[in-house]
Copies of this chain bind each other. A is one copy, B any other.
Amino acid sequence: MWYTTFLFLFATGSSYYLGGLRPHPPSEESTLPLGRATMPQLKANVENMQAAWVDFVTLLGEGRVSTEKNDLDFHSTSSWSAHQAKADDRPFMVLFPQTTQEVSDIMKICHKRHIPVVGFSGGTSLEGHYTPTHGGVCVDFTHMNKIVALHKDDLDVVVQPGVGWESLNDQLRKENLFFPPDPGPGAMIGGMIGTGCSGTNAYRYGTMREWVLSVTAVLADGTIVKTRQRARKSSAGYDLTKVFIGSEGTLGLVTEATLKLAVVPEHTSVAVASFPTIRDAANCVGRVVSHGIPVAAVEILDDNQMQCINQAGMTSRKWAETPTLFFKFSGTERAVKEQIETTKKLSKQAQGKSFEFAKSVEEQHELWSARKEALWSTMAVKKEGDRVWTGDVAVPMTRLPDLIEETKISLKKSGLFGSIVGHVGDGNFHLILLYNDAQRKIAEGVVHDMVKRAVEMEGTVTGEHGVGLVKRDYLPHELGQSTVDLMRKMKTAFDPLCLLNCDKVIRMNKPKPGDLTQW
């Protein structure tokens, strides 16, 4: 650094800083390494929070400020999260705003009082995104659940963050429109933007990044920004929409979003093909992709997963317990028929053992049901005391069979039960792992090995679940230290006091001894 000592003389100022640390010394550098980050003190102590409670009640009324234990527990963790919250990882209170202006007023109070803030919508995230490790307040968006405006001829819709993607699609169906991103059930637009999620439709339609035109966000100091108007494309300035997508509530709280919509295809169908090995199945997908067949989705389920589905008995038939591909097709009736014919031929060339396609809407639902019930089927075969861990990685498409095979070997060695479900057209898959508390370390090891392998295969530590608390320390391995240090610089520009989901995605405080797993 170019200076070694400095002294501030204050004429006026906030008492927080008298004699204290400055949050971010001015720097000529483009990155902010953790060693040089001097974090300001967050103030989640009882006195400050009680005083803030009065402010929030004045703003929202008592009915929308909760300190009920149930509410605090519900907003801390879930049974399906890979991250297990500690007993004191609880918010002091949960706030339920109804407008962007209220969110801005909340943030102004938190900014003045240095209170940490975590955003919350559907609560379906998996990596500890909303666990309030610094206490403070949780801002729950479930009261902001309106469709603000549907512009059906422009193919866009303006929504609040507490709208669920499933109920949105229920509304849109009447207009022959839909919103393609389809993550886990229960997810809401706010969290879906935060995580940059996707789902089975991503292969054909892309992820959240491709379907959000604009967001309104409240920044850490209460400033309201809107990233774009409604044109379907724009080159006007930095792409702040994309900056907020995948930022996991660390850069701002999204209070409204304009989403692009797609027209429901005229005709759809589903086909299921089983293969002797994962490699044969992946090989089939490679052929389908390089033939340019515009399949609407292609999912892979491994032998264990097919076994779970049979065992759980949630679908109306028995399935072959071998690696299986699930295809969705869409287009005109003729185009779908043609796609199915070609896919059937390619599947046979890739050693496919069976190929079955739906001849009616009912058969479509029946065939797709196995894919739909995959997670729940694995949950259903849990033993007493078992937890579930849904890990997520993505690699370049040709590396997927290697990664799945090696993960299955490592799983076998570990003695744990796990199944694999993959968005195979994107090189993205999930390992659904069962473990009990005694096996936690073993489970961590299996996931760690999978993540490390993905990075070594030029892949990513998360295809669609996000980083949260669980994957922070993997980022430097995937992206390089300087890239993470640039993200940290960006975080401190947007949120100099580190109020918003502080320490998630990017570490802002140094890890404690024992926090870091050996790479």
Chain A: residues with CB nearer than 8 A to chain B?
Answer: 2-14, 17, 22-31, 111, 151, 153-156, 176, 195-198, 202, 206-207, 209-210, 219-221, 223-240, 242-243, 245-247, 251-252, 262-266, 286, 289-292, 294, 331-332, 334-335, 338, 394-398, 426-428, 454-455, 458-467, 471, 474-475, 478-480, 482-487, 489-497, 505-506
Best-buried of A210, A227, A286, A483 by chain B (most CB within 10 Å): A483
Asked whether A289 lies within 8 Å of B155 as measured between CB atoms, the reply is yes
Asked whether B497 lies within 8 Å of A31 as measured between CB atoms, the reply is no
Q: B residues within 8 A CB of A246? A: 235, 237-239
Asked whether A483 lies within 8 Å of B231 as measured between CB atoms, the reply is no
Distance between A144 CB and nearest chain B CB, rounded to angstroms:
20
Asked whether B292 lies within 8 Å of A264 as measured between CB atoms, the reply is yes
Best-buried of A220, A226, A235, A331 by chain B (most CB within 10 Å): A235
Asked whether B23 lies within 8 Å of A23 as measured between CB atoms, the reply is no
Q: B residues within 8 A CB of A28? A: 23, 111, 221, 496-497
- Indicate whether A235 sits within 8 Å of B466 (C-beta atoms), given known contacts A26-B24, A30-B223, A223-B486: yes
Q: Nearest CB to that of A492 among chain B residues?
A: B493
Q: How far is the CA of A206 from the CA of B287 in the complex (A)?
A: 24
Q: B residues within 8 A CB of A6? A: 8-9
Asked whether A9 lies within 8 Å of B13 as measured between CB atoms, the reply is no
Q: B residues within 8 A CB of A26? A: 22-26, 496
Distance between A108 CB and nearest chain B CB, rounded to angstroms:
11
Distance between A247 CB and nearest chain B CB, rounded to angstroms:
6
Asked whether B14 lies within 8 Å of A2 as measured between CB atoms, the reply is yes
Q: B residues within 8 A CB of A247? A: 238
Q: How far is the CA of A44 from the CA of B225 in the complex (A)?
A: 35
Distance between A308 CB and nearest chain B CB, rounded to angstroms:
26
Distance between A255 CB and nearest chain B CB, rounded to angstroms:
14
Q: Nearest CB to that of A466 among chain B residues?
A: B235
Distance between A384 CB and nearest chain B CB, rounded to angstroms:
33
Q: How far is the CA of A229 from the CA of B2 in the complex (A)?
A: 34
Q: How far is the CA of A242 from the CA of B11 in the complex (A)?
A: 42
- Indicate whether A232 sits within 8 Å of B394 (C-beta atoms), given known contacts A239-B245, A483-B240: yes
Asked whether A487 lies within 8 Å of B237 as measured between CB atoms, the reply is yes
- A335's partner among B14, B238, B334, B482 (CB-CB below 8 A) is B334
Q: How far is the CA of A232 from the CA of B13 in the complex (A)?
A: 49
Q: A225-B482, A230-B396 are in contact. List 5 more A-B contacts (CB 8 A).
A: A206-B206, A231-B396, A235-B246, A239-B243, A239-B245
Asked whether B459 lies within 8 Å of A230 as measured between CB atoms, the reply is yes
Distance between A289 CB and nearest chain B CB, rounded to angstroms:
7
Asked whether A496 lies within 8 Å of B235 as measured between CB atoms, the reply is no
- Indicate whether A231 sits within 8 Å of B394 (C-beta atoms), given known contacts A25-B26, A28-B23, A332-B335: yes
23 pairs across A/B with beta carbons < 8 Å? A2-B12, A2-B14, A5-B11, A6-B8, A22-B26, A24-B26, A30-B221, A151-B398, A202-B233, A219-B486, A229-B459, A232-B396, A236-B471, A238-B487, A239-B242, A239-B246, A242-B242, A263-B292, A294-B294, A331-B335, A334-B338, A335-B335, A490-B490
- A235's partner among B236, B242, B265, B467 (CB-CB below 8 A) is B467
Q: Nearest CB to that of A286 among chain B residues?
A: B153
Q: B residues within 8 A CB of A242? A: 209, 239, 242-243
Asked whether B196 lies within 8 Å of A239 as measured between CB atoms, the reply is yes
Asked whether B210 lies within 8 Å of A206 as measured between CB atoms, the reply is yes
- Indicate whether A223 sits within 8 Å of B458 (C-beta atoms), given known contacts A7-B9, A397-B153, A463-B233: no
Asked whether B236 lies within 8 Å of A263 as measured between CB atoms, the reply is no
Asked whether A460 lies within 8 Å of B234 as measured between CB atoms, the reply is yes
Asked whether B464 lies within 8 Å of A428 as measured between CB atoms, the reply is no
Asked whether A225 lies within 8 Å of B480 as measured between CB atoms, the reply is yes
Q: How far is the CA of A24 from the CA of B22 in the complex (A)?
A: 13
Q: B residues within 8 A CB of A496? A: 26-30
Q: How far is the CA of A25 from the CA of B13 in the complex (A)?
A: 14
Asked whether B289 lies within 8 Å of A263 as measured between CB atoms, the reply is yes
Q: B residues within 8 A CB of A395? A: 230-231
